[in-house]
Chain A
Amino acid sequence: MTGRAKTVGQVIAVSAVVGLLVLLGWKLAFGNGGGASAELAGGGSPVAPDFTLPRIDPEGGDLAFSSLKGKAVVVNFWASWCIPCKDEAPELQKTYEKYRDQGLVVLGVDAKDFRQDGQRFIKRFGITYPVVGDGKGSTLGKWGVKGFPETFFVDREGRLVGTVVEGGVDLERNREQFAEGIRLALGDSK
């Protein structure tokens, strides 16, 4: 092989390695990993990832998650095509009505769904708490959502607390976790 061909080959090989290292660095710096839920499961209390999404409830407009700071928030990820989401919807509405006066907000995130289907769902279950639409699923990676429904608890400081409820909050196996999450989010020391 001539010296020139050898140099070209080396440049290509080095460029490929550098390119792969850059991709790896990018993934480590900006990749979601397991998201906030993994950090929470690891014993941390991460700041809830912020987002601004359009509301699909009758209120309309956009909702920035950061605007809820100072309130306890139950963040429920759901989709209209998800059966357990239908089963738990009345429970979430009841929770909102029960704790609203104590400064608790239930926030629905309708993800990977048609907006119109989500709006029909809201009407059908008489949901009055705010619901945003995330058809693209842009929040799922940052929050570490693995399936629907999943429910997170955020305290008044904007940090995730408790344990993520995987599956319907109405299920017997999840009731204690759900109650504990609400208690922690409200900052109730009892």
Chain B
Amino acid sequence: MSRIVIVVSALVLATSAVAAGPPVQADLEAEIVCPTCKTTLDQSNAPIAVRMKTYIRARIAAGDSAAEIKSQLVDQFGPGVLAEPPKRGFDLLAWLLPLGAVAVGAVVVGALAVTWSKRRDTGADGSADDLDPDLARRLDEELDRFED
């Protein structure tokens, strides 16, 4: 039992060590926006983008984490340098509004689906059960003849 605990603990530690490893230059370049051209750094060769890439490389070499590097860049250039807005404060709206729109859309589609299915049950004009008996008899006759 104790061996299993040790193995599991080792696996958990190893996994967390990998997760907290040094930041990857390419990942950060895809998460930071060039302040002059408004594309991510990996898509830009603007002078400030090139300078920011150099800065990121230097900070990774100095042992900073991805969060620290992002924080330093936000301090210099503002939150607009983050490709994804932070999930707090006013910026949280950027995450919540699309979800809200999807939720409202789902409710509307659901309501419409319920309404349409009710109409179908009752017939297009709401009179499926009120079919004229003569017309119903003729319809049955036609269907029988068709089946023959």
B43 to chain A, nearest CB (A): 17
A79 interface hit (Cβ, 8 Å):
yes
Query: Do A137 and B35 touch (CB < 8 A)?
Result: yes
Query: Do B108 and A8 touch (CB < 8 A)?
Result: yes
Residue in B closest to A81 when the chains form the complex, CB atoms:
B47
Chain B residues whose C-beta falls within 8 Å of the C-beta of A81 in the assembled complex = 47-48, 51
Query: Do A135 and B77 touch (CB < 8 A)?
Result: yes
Residue in A closest to B80 when the chains form the complex, CB atoms:
A136
With an 8 Å Cβ cutoff, the count of chain B residues facing the other chain is: 16
The distance in angstroms between the C-alpha atoms of A137 and B36, with both chains bound, is 9
The distance in angstroms between the C-alpha atoms of A68 and B144, with both chains bound, is 98
A2 interface hit (Cβ, 8 Å):
yes
Chain A residues whose C-beta falls within 8 Å of the C-beta of B2 in the assembled complex = none
B104 interface hit (Cβ, 8 Å):
yes
A65 interface hit (Cβ, 8 Å):
no
Query: Do B48 and A113 touch (CB < 8 A)?
Result: yes
A124 to chain B, nearest CB (A): 16
Known contacts A112-B36, A136-B77: does B48 contact A5 (CB below 8 Å)? no
B110 to chain A, nearest CB (A): 10
B76 interface hit (Cβ, 8 Å):
yes
Query: Do A12 and B108 touch (CB < 8 A)?
Result: yes
3 cross-chain pairs, A with B, having the tightest CB-CB distances, nearest first: A136-B78, A81-B47, A135-B76
The distance in angstroms between the C-alpha atoms of A112 and B51, with both chains bound, is 11
Q: C-beta contact mask, B27-42 vs A, less than 8 Å → 1, else 0?
A: 0000000011000000
A2 to chain B, nearest CB (A): 6
Instruction: Classify the interface of chain B: helix, strand, loop or mixed.
Output: helix
Residue in A closest to B51 when the chains form the complex, CB atoms:
A81
The distance in angstroms between the C-alpha atoms of A44 and B18, with both chains bound, is 61
Query: Do B112 and A5 touch (CB < 8 A)?
Result: yes
Chain B residues whose C-beta falls within 8 Å of the C-beta of A5 in the assembled complex = 111-112, 115
Query: Do B35 and A82 touch (CB < 8 A)?
Result: no
Q: C-beta contact mask, A1-29 vs B, less than 8 Å → 1, else 0?
A: 11001001100100000000000000000
Cβ 8 A contact of A115, one of B48, B76, B112, B115: B76
23 residue pairs from A and B, CB less than 8 Å apart: A1-B112, A2-B115, A2-B118, A5-B111, A8-B108, A8-B111, A12-B104, A79-B48, A81-B47, A81-B48, A81-B51, A112-B35, A112-B48, A112-B77, A113-B48, A114-B55, A114-B76, A115-B76, A117-B51, A135-B77, A135-B78, A136-B77, A136-B78
Q: C-beta contact mask, B102-120 vs A, less than 8 Å → 1, else 0?
A: 0010001001100100100
Query: Do A82 and B104 touch (CB < 8 A)?
Result: no
Chain B residues whose C-beta falls within 8 Å of the C-beta of A117 in the assembled complex = 51
Chain A residues whose C-beta falls within 8 Å of the C-beta of B47 in the assembled complex = 81-82
Q: C-beta contact mask, B77-98 vs A, less than 8 Å → 1, else 0?
A: 1101000000000000000000
Chain A residues whose C-beta falls within 8 Å of the C-beta of B112 in the assembled complex = 1, 5
Of residues A79, A115, A135, which shows the largest number of chain B Cβ atoms within 10 Å of its Cβ? A135
Residue in A closest to B101 when the chains form the complex, CB atoms:
A16
- Apart from A2-B118, A112-B36, A112-B77, what are 10 other A-B pairs with CB-CB below 8 Å? A1-B115, A2-B115, A5-B111, A8-B108, A79-B48, A81-B48, A114-B55, A114-B76, A135-B77, A136-B77
